[in-house]
Structure 1
Amino acid sequence: MSALSLSFACSDYDRMHALRTGRVRPEGIDLNFLPLPVEETFYRQLRGHEFDVSEMSLSSYLLTLNEDEPPFVALPVFPSRFFRHQSIYVNDRGGIRSPADLAGRRVGTPEYQMTATVWQRGILAEDHGVPVDGVTYVTGALEEHGRQEKIALNLPERIRIESIGPGQNLSSMLADGELDALYTARPPSSFGRAPHVRHLFEDFKAVEQDYFRRTGIFPIMHTVVVKRDLHERHPWIARSLYKAFDESLRIAQEDLRDRSALKVMLPWLQEHLTETVDVLGEHAWDYGFERNRHVLETFARYSYDQGLANRLWAPEDLVLKSASDSFRI
């Protein structure tokens, strides 16, 4: 029987590199790897369902579950993780010295529903006493113009959201004092250019390490989704894909430990890797359901509390748990 041909859109991460080069091949599947920027992948998949398999914003995926007929199922594969304390920026001319000072302020965010900002709002509320509905959110393009939410939102009235005007962008508005803070994923261009634009958490590395030690959470940003109708026709592909993704991750981890020649341009990679493992342990990037149950549970609660998800999803409802059963658990 010939292999099933599937398209797969994803960033060219090191943990996906073996899949892109063909060093790892999913059993029974001819995978056409399309290395695309995440913004393009998310837009095309959410609006047009263009790919059989794709990387997907965890928040956007949860919102698709609000639909009467959700178009995707997710694998317990998480190609992007990021501590997001470091990507909260403030204009210090407004007197913001601590998270508590954000109360009552105007905060920019490219999209209210984006995964990074769901984590940021949740962490600020849970750890620093900044209620989700305690600020006014201003949405729009970080640098360019015309950005809109990828998915239509139906938020409770307690969430106050405004849109920026034509020709405006959040980076310049933060620098000019039209915004007090910015919750984002990418750093604004005004950071480093305008001296009064700074991190909310100046010593963010220590703050993020403390967060992990307390919670055991290395925040998941993206998952991998499969078209639901495709999975229903060929349920075996979930397990085949998971095994291949897991093997590609293992190879990337081995490459980081290779000292015969550096495969990334970091001359003190060994020291960086040792420090990271000392804090996060050996399994921080692991895929699979059980190892990530608490992370999924926390994010699902944040999404619901922030008026995004229309119900409080259990972790088992979010990803195909069975795809990872018996693999590296």
Structure 2
Amino acid sequence: MMTHTAVDLTLAMAYYEHAAGLTSGRVPVEGARVRWLELPVEEIFHRFYEYREWELSEMSMGKYIAQVSQGDDSMVGLPVFPSRVFRHSAFYVRAGEITAPERLRGRRLGIPEWAQTAAVYMRGLLTQEWGIPLEEVRWFQAGVNQPGRREHVRLALPPGVELTPVPGRSLNDMLLAGDIDAVLSAHPPEAFKSGDPRVRRLFPDPPAVEEEYARRTGIVPIMHLVVVRRDVVDRHPWLVGNLMTAFEEARSRSVARLAAGPAGPGSRVPLLWTDEALARTRAAFGGEPWPYGVDANRTTLEAFARWADEQGVTHRRVEVDELFPASVRTRYRI
């Protein structure tokens, strides 16, 4: 039985199988009625970051931690992580010119936004894995395939780091013209998507490199989280716990669906070899796949917070426990 008058909430989020129970309504949020608004993530981020158009939202980790570092607590983070992607596969280079990550030293690298979450992790690879200081690279910021993209977060770049906005060109065109040596981007340049032989990934077999990285470091990159508007939490403080419970139930049901049956996932999603993929995902996480909560993700969150500080995405070092309310930091461990 519900103990609170039901609160009407709109949740803006892309489709995720591990959140489908909640977004479909099959997994209720106690005390709330949730309406799902499905939009492209770029539109979700822009509209919520700029205008706070709805109560619950998927949000970029980079934008969120930058805001927290500047004293803006108008969003309340939940340790629910719908999007997690390794980014070794997101280095795109001119074919034949850069054959190993160490050869990125001294090069001209293009990024869509300095504060893009993927870029934080990729620069972390540069500095922590390959020993390339940020100031030994020339950085260029532009849209990946269309010109005009701008930085949305106020930065505090470290001394010696050179970042040049190029509003009139795309990174794709700059790479093909030889004006930059590599593109670091969550979305591939058009030349790579179209099979242009002049552009390739830095790593020919990214999954092998990424799996080794996960086993060695314990880091499985978190791209997005779920946030709640502060005014909603102030009015209904009990809501954050109920949301966590529902998101966790939806995730658990999703994993159970994929693992069901004597032959594993079978054809529950239109992909082959999903039983092997589930086993590899478990191995990458060291047990339960795709965990929510702070404790189960502290290694990744600590690394992200450290890199965001070192790279000037944040204006001060943000501690992991600042990102989430105390009521959900220790309660959810899986």
Shorter chain as normaliser: what TM range? over 0.9
Q: Which residue of 2 aligns with 1:30?
A: 33
- The residue number in structure 2 matching 1:108 is 110
Instruction: Write the distance in 1 (CA, Å) between the matches of 2:215 and 2:274.
Output: 23
8 A contact 1:78–1:223 mirrored in 2:
yes
CA change 1:125–1:156 in 2 (3 A) is closer
1:289–1:321 CA contact under 8 A, matched in 2: no
Q: Name the stretch that deviates more: 270-279 or 247-256.
A: 270-279
- With normalisation by structure 1, the TM-score equals 0.94
Query: Structure 2: how far apart are the matches of 1:16 and 1:280?
Result: 19
Q: Is the 8 A contact 2:69 2:318 kept in 1?
A: no
Structure 2 gap ranges (5+): none
SS at match of 1:78: coil
Supply the distance in 2 between the matched residues of 1:70 and 1:21 (Cα, whole angstroms): 29
CA deviation after TM superposition for structure 1 residue 155, in Å: 2.3
Where does residue 65 of structure 1 map in the other structure? 68
Give the alignment of 1:84-233 within 5 angstroms. 84-93=87-96, 95-166=97-168, 168-191=169-192, 192-233=194-235
Q: Which amino acid aligns with 1:10?
A: M
Q: Deviations over 1:66-120 (max 9, x none)?
A: 3344311101111110110011111134x31211211121111000100000000
Amino acid at match of 2:14: S
Which stretch has the larger CA shift, 262-271 or 284-293? 262-271
**Structure 1 residues 248, 324: CA separation in 2 closer, same or farther (over 3 Å shift)?**
farther
Deviation at 1:279, TM superposition (A): 4.3
Question: SS at 1:173's partner residue?
Answer: helix
Contact 1:54 1:224 in 2 (8 A): yes
Q: CA deviation at 1:216?
A: 0.9
* Mean Cα deviation higher: 186-195 or 83-92: 186-195
Q: TM-score, normalised by structure 2?
A: 0.93
Offset of residue 123 of structure 1? 1.5
Cα displacement (A) at 1:176? 2.3
Q: Which amino acid aligns with 1:119?
A: Y
Name the stretch that deviates more: 154-163 or 80-89: 154-163
Structure 2: distance between partners of 1:220 and 1:210:
17
Could you say if the C-alpha distance between residues 165 and 130 of structure 1 is closer, same or farther in structure 2, counting changes exceeding 3 Å? Answer: same
Q: Does 1:276 align with 2:278?
A: no
Residues 107-155 of structure 1 deviation map (CA, whole Å, 9 limit, x = unaligned)? 1100010000000001121011111222111111111221111223232
Pair 1:132–1:3, CA change in 2 (3 A): same
Counterpart of 1:320 in structure 2 is 325
Question: Residues of 2 paired with 1:288 and 1:258: CA distance?
Answer: 24
2:315 is matched by which residue type in structure 1?
A: N
CA RMSD of aligned residues (A): 1.7
Summarize the Cα distance change of 1:85–1:159 in structure 2 as closer, same or farther, 3 Å threshold.
Answer: same
Distance 1:281 1:157 in 2: 38
**For the Cα contact (< 8 Å) 1:175–1:194, is it kept in 2?**
no
Cα distance, 1:297 vs. partner?
Answer: 0.8
Task: Give the equivalent residue in structure 2 for 1:250.
Answer: 252
Aligned to 1:4: 7
Question: Quick one: distance in 2 between partners of 1:270 and 1:261?
Answer: 7
| Paired residues of 1:76 and 1:320 also in contact (CA < 8 A) | no
Q: How many residues align?
A: 327
Distance 1:165 1:236, change over 3 A: closer
Question: Given the superposition, is the C-alpha separation of residues 34 and 283 from structure 1 closer, same or farther in structure 2, using an over 3 Å criterion?
Answer: same
> Is contact 2:220–2:284 with CA below 8 Å preserved after alignment?
no
**Letter aligned with residue 81 of structure 1:** R
- 1:144-191 CA distances to partner (integer Å, 9 max, x unpaired)? 22111122323244221112242x211122122121001110121111
Unaligned stretches of 5+ residues in structure 1: none
Cα distance in 2 between the residues matched to 1:200 and 1:237: 44
User: Structure 2 vs 1, CA of residues 67 and 276 (structure 1 numbering), >3 Å: closer, same or farther?
Assistant: closer
- In 1: Cα distance, 2:98 partner to 2:326 partner: 43
Given the alignment, which residue of 27, 40, 44 partners 1:41?
A: 44
